[in-house]
Amino acid sequence: MTVLERPATSLLPEPEPYRVLGTSAEPEPGLWTRLYRELVRGRRFNEQTTALTRQGRLAVYPSSTGQEACQVGAALSLGPRDWLFPSYRDTLAAVARGLDPVAALGLLRGDWHTGYDPRAHRIAPLCTPLATQLPHAVGLARAARLRGDDTVALALVGDGGTSEGDFHEALNFAAVWRAPVVFLVQNNRYAISVPLSRQTAAPSIAHKGVGYGMPGRLVDGMDAPAVHRVLTEALARARAGEGPTLVEARTYRFDAHTNADDAGRYREEAEVADWRARDPLTLLGSELRARGLLTGDVEEEAAQAAERLAAGLRAALGADPPLSAADLFAHVYASPTPQLREQAASLAEVTR
């Protein structure tokens, strides 16, 4: 076989990141104001959570400040039966999808690993081992298709995570199975301290799709309507049985990797300032304003929603969570082994 089934060029990403804002694209006022409201809430969520982490109310917080357009765009592109597969940086995507923020922060607060029922919310546990959630998304998507459901899985990963073997295996399985799954790489240019040039020599991350036989798409990750549009198209394609898509969103995290990181050791202030000038909130806000779509009511309501979210976080995270050492043994197996029963009893004995 020498003839390609599909010309490789049809799978290549656009030469420049896809944009909506600042172009002649037809505005979608309803969607854009919804995105704006979620961006405002999202920014407040990131800032409040970081502040609470500094006060010792969370174990750690990998903020997605700067990446809100990706988080919100991803959440709002999903249908109610779709599944989201987030990483540790994607708490906001889960919150924007409607998950209770305190439940979403369970992992990072540290009172349990996953603070919610993944099946009830169709949000997989926030995943820390890089890229290992991607094959889960592929398997779940395949299972849904085998069952005849039109569920699609959206899996999130960072640029550094694309170097992991699981990224490769997940994309390959997805393409071979034509699984209804979309991979969103938030390329924020750094994996902790390591720049993308040390992760890959590919022309872009989106170019990697062609090697698996799936389209790669490149999108401006600061442009919320653009992220939403590209993901919506990719999800529709997956739902229609046309297989997976790899989406690379070019973005930037304004804050350090986590509250415990010192970004000054590996990136220049000037670079940060350049990216802050492309703040996803400001970009969408200015465009809405320029088009006369941002009424005082919308701004007011968004600000209030953000404040309600922040106040809720302060109240809930300011209180100590109920903890029980007996829980440690409860969910290791469907029913505890005799050994775990013994250990639970002996711990209860010494902590009595």
Partner 1 sequence: MISMAGALNLALRDAMAADPAVHLLGEDIGTLGGVFRVTDGLAAEFGEDRCTDTPLAEAGILGTATGMAMYGLRPVVEMQFDAFAYPAFEQLVSHVSRMRNRTRGALPLPLTVRIPYGGGIGGVEHHSDSSETYYMATPGLHVATPATVTDAYGLLRQAIASDDPVVFLEPKRLYWAKDELRPDAPPFGQAVLRRPGRDATLLTYGPALTVCLEAAEAARSRGFDLGVLDLRTLVPFDDETVCAEVRRTGRAVVVHEATGFAGPGAEIAARVTERCFHHLAAPVLRVTGFDIPYPPPMLERHHLPDVDRVLDAVTRLQWEEA
Ligand X SMILES: Cc1ncc(C[n+]2csc(CCOP(=O)(O)OP(=O)(O)O)c2C)c(N)n1
Q: Is 18 a catalytic residue?
A: no
Query: Would residue 228 show up in a list of annotated catalytic residues for this protein?
Result: no
Q: Is 156 in the site for partner 1 (CB under 8 A)?
A: no
When asked if residue 136 is in the footprint of partner 1 (CB under 8 A), the reply is yes
Residue 132 touching partner 1 (CB under 8 A) = yes
Task: Give 129 or 318: the residue with its C-beta nearer to ligand X.
Answer: 129
> Toward partner 1, which CB reaches closer, 117 or 268?
117
Helix axes 134-146, 165-177, angle to 10 degrees: 20
What number of helices (H) and strands (E) belong to the chain?
Answer: 15, 7
Which 3 state secondary structure label does DSSP give 153? strand
Counting contacts by CB under 8 A, is residue 88 touching partner 1? no
> C-alpha distances in angstroms, 290 versus 22, 38, 79, 172?
10, 19, 30, 44
- Under rule CB under 8 A, how many of the chain's residues touch partner 1? 43
Among 48, 63, 71, 188, binds ligand X (CB under 6 A): 188
Tokens of 121: 């919310």
- Residue 63 and residue 49 in contact, taking contact as beta carbons nearer than 8 Å: yes
Rule CB under 6 A: which of 190-219 touch ligand X?
190-192
* Dihedral sign for Cα atoms in the order 78, 62, 220, 250: negative
Active site residue 331: no
Task: List the catalytic residue out of 145, 228, 250, 253.
Answer: 253
Question: Sign of dihedral through CA atoms 56, 47, 35, 269?
Answer: negative
In the set 121, 266, 278, 314, the catalytic residue is: 266
CA-nearest of 72, 119, 46, 17 to 280 is 72
Which residues make up the interface to ligand X (CB under 6 A)?
A: 89, 128-130, 158-161, 188, 190-192, 257
Indicate which residues carry an active-site annotation. 253, 257, 266
Note the residues at the interface with partner 1 (CB under 8 A).
112-114, 116-120, 124-125, 129, 132, 134-144, 146-147, 153, 165-166, 168-170, 172-173, 176, 327, 330-334, 337-339
